Amino acid sequence: MLTKKGKYGLKAMVHLAAREPGEPSLVSEIAEANNIPKKFLDTILGELRNAGFVNSKKGKGGGYTLARSAHLIRVGHIIRILDGPLAPIQCASKTSYRRCDDCTDERHCGVRILMLEAREALATVLDNRTLAEMRAAAQDDELILSYVI
């Protein structure tokens, strides 16, 4: 489940991606444009900054900018920072594996095997999509999106 923190963070990143590179955005501006509580967004952008996704500048004329080109920022990475691992269950995570304490034989745990598949499917989507693509998809009236039921 994507939390509001994750959702707000992604929206903020999309907002930044829509800017001329180097042109800073204010927290208050991003918050207002996306209906996000300002103070909450404040802490979210702080985390994204600590993680190296955005740069910040204080004082007049300050604000936030993307630290890298939107083409180089993968959506899955952002979500991991804000909401934790993608895997539905920790014993199926690759970036932050942890054993289930109730599982005696992990190799024959059907749940885990299934969740490895699920994680793989999720990661395939989220780790291949970049911020630039996400923004483009939003602008182009969903043309890019092609379902394969």
Partner DNA sequence: CCCCATCCTCACGATTCAATAGGAATTGCT
Partner DNA sequence: AGCAATTCCTATTGAATCGTGAGGATGGGG
The binding site for DNA (CB under 7 A) comprises 3-5, 8, 26-28, 37-40, 42-43, 45-46, 49-50, 56-64, 83-84
Helix axis angle, 27-34 to 38-50, nearest 10°: 120
CB of 118 to a copy of itself, least distance (A): 5
Q: Which does 132 bind (CB under 5 to 8 A by kind): a copy of itself, DNA, none?
A: none
What is the secondary structure of 93-142 as a DSSP string? -SSS----TT-S-GGG-HHHHHHHHHHHHHHHHHTT-BHHHHHHHHHTTT
Which residues are paired to 65 by β-bridges? 55
With beta carbons less than 8 A apart as the criterion, state whether 61 and 24 touch. Answer: yes
Pick one of 21, 55, 89, 98: the residue that binds a copy of itself (CB under 8 A). 89
Using CB under 8 A as the binding rule, whether residue 34 contacts a copy of itself is answered as yes
Residue 124 contacts which entry, a copy of itself, DNA, none (Cβ below 5-8 A, type-dependent): a copy of itself
The residue type at 4: K
Q: Which of 58, 60, 61, 141 binds a copy of itself (CB under 8 A)?
A: 141
Tokens representing 103 are 């599982």
Please give the full DSSP string across 34-62, using - where no structure is assigned.
HT--HHHHHHHHHHHHHTTSEEEE-STT-
Q: Does residue 117 bind a copy of itself (CB under 8 A)?
A: yes
36 forms part of the interface with a copy of itself (CB under 8 A): yes
How many residues belong to the chain?
149
- Residues near a copy of itself (CB under 8 A) are 1-2, 7, 10-11, 14, 34-36, 75, 88-89, 100-104, 107-111, 113-118, 120-122, 124-126, 129, 134-135, 137-139, 141-142, 144-145, 147-149
